[in-house]
Amino acid sequence: MKKFSIFVINLFLISIFVKCQANINEKLTHECLKHYLKQRGENEEILDYVDSYFGSITDCESAVKSKLASIYANLRNRLQSDRVNRPFVECVLKDVEEDDDIGYEILVLKETAVEMISNWRFWKYFSKSSRLDELRDDAESIIKKTLLKCKGYRKFGDYFSLIQDLGALPNVTRSGEQEYCIRTVLKEKGCINSLYDFRDNPKNVRTSTLNCTIVYNEVVEDLYNSMYKSNEASNCILDIYKKENYADYVLTAELLSKISLSKSDKSKEKQNFINKMVDISYETKNC
Ligand SMILES: *[C@@H]1O[C@H](CO)[C@@H](O)[C@H](O)[C@H]1NC(C)=O
Ligand SMILES: *[C@@H]1O[C@H](CO)[C@@H](O)[C@H](O)[C@H]1NC(C)=O
């Protein structure tokens, strides 16, 4: 029994020692973190008891920056260790590090501050772990969303380029009537810049008896059906695509492949396409 309690005391001392060492290395104090968050308009209630910071502002900023650097390094390692995520590491880090609106930095700093609550603050300590879970979940969902976006940038960028190279959607040939109606309807919908130079009726088909609403809707249906058949999209995904008019954007990309554009117009259109597609596909994340 005596041996055992000495063992426990030793463990306790070792853990104190390890904690002190960590603090010495980081120089990041609870007071500084709270100050830093407050400067950014962030009040974390659970830290109410933490004293005001009276130290040097530059020291505090640099301690926070070095903490953030190590958090981002960990994130980088974690993403890099996953083969699927590895190609998107730079894109994800760029987004979360540089885009303040995303709010990742605030979440991980709050997490760091809440982690520092020690067990002698009994009532705070009591709610520490549930608050930590919340903050971690929020930070993780930012990473997931950013990953989806980064994957989307790649995927839809490639898709747009493929369509431009083929001058058509993959495995699709169009009748003159379809060509005419796609142009007419996309123009009506304002999907295509009317200043672009293209012929409305490239195959000179007779249009007097055409109902372009019907022709266009058939083209759209065919597109969705082929996506379903090739397992590219489930019913759940297709429902969202239909609601968001996914086909309009794809058919616009197809039309753009048939008209000659300046390099800068083309790259502007490509970016629009990617942004729109990434937004739409983000909505399908729960499918
Ligand atoms: C297009 O056709 C090729 C060969 O005919 C086939 O390998 C490919 O899977 C098809 N792609 C789509 C999207 O249907
Ligand atoms: C074209 O077809 C649609 C849908 O069937 C119909 O609502 C519309 O009135 C038709 N337009 C013309 C000009 O016939």
Q: Are residues 60 and 173 in the same domain?
A: no
Q: Are residues 19 and 72 in the same domain?
A: yes
Taking CA atoms only, the protein residue closest to ligand 2 atom 14 is: 211
At 121, is the pLDDT very low, low, confident or very high (cuts 50, 70, 90)? confident
Domain membership flag for residue 154: no
Domain membership flag for residue 179: yes
Residue 38: is it exposed, middle or buried by C-beta count within 10 angstroms (0-12/13-18/19+)? middle
pLDDT tops 80 at residue 10:
no
Does ligand 2 come within 6 angstroms of the Cβ of 211? yes
Domain membership flag for residue 132: yes
Q: Are residues 121 and 19 in the same domain?
A: yes
Does ligand 1 come within 6 angstroms of the Cβ of 230? yes
**Residue matched to tokens 């830093």:** 36
- The pLDDT tens digits of the residues spanning 123-140 come to 888 899 999 999 999 999
Taking CA atoms only, the protein residue closest to ligand 1 atom 4 is: 171
Does ligand 1 come within 6 angstroms of the Cβ of 171? yes
Domain membership flag for residue 153: no
Q: Are residues 9 and 127 in the same domain?
A: yes
**Residue matched to tokens 């409305």:** 200
At 4, is the pLDDT very low, low, confident or very high (cuts 50, 70, 90)? very low
Domain membership flag for residue 155: no
pLDDT tops 80 at residue 1:
no
Q: Are residues 143 and 171 in the same domain?
A: no
What pLDDT was estimated at residue 19?
Answer: 42
Domain span including residue 255: 167-283
Q: Are residues 188 and 76 in the same domain?
A: no
Q: Are residues 53 and 126 in the same domain?
A: yes
Q: Among 162, 166, 171, which is best to mutate for testing ligand 1, by the most ligand atoms less than 8 A from CB? A: 171
What mean pLDDT do residues 172-199 have?
A: 95
Q: Are residues 186 and 111 in the same domain?
A: no
Domain membership flag for residue 138: yes
pLDDT tops 90 at residue 188:
yes
Q: Are residues 138 and 43 in the same domain?
A: yes
- The pLDDT tens digits of the residues spanning 209-261 come to 999 999 999 999 999 999 999 999 999 999 999 999 999 999 999 999 999 99
pTM of the model: 0.71
Proximal ligand: closest to the CA of 185? 2
At 12, is the pLDDT very low, low, confident or very high (cuts 50, 70, 90)? very low
Domain membership flag for residue 158: no
What mean pLDDT do residues 272-276 have?
A: 94
pLDDT tops 50 at residue 18:
no
Q: Are residues 173 and 130 in the same domain?
A: no
Domain count for the chain = 2
| Residue that is last in its domain, among 148, 181, 215 | 148
What pLDDT was estimated at residue 7?
Answer: 42
Does ligand 2 come within 6 angstroms of the Cβ of 214? yes
pLDDT tops 60 at residue 61:
yes
Residue 97: is it exposed, middle or buried by C-beta count within 10 angstroms (0-12/13-18/19+)? middle
Q: pLDDT higher for 18 or 46?
A: 46
What pLDDT was estimated at residue 21?
Answer: 41
> Ligand 2 centre from 208 Cα, in Å?
13
Q: Are residues 131 and 183 in the same domain?
A: no
Q: Are residues 6 and 135 in the same domain?
A: yes
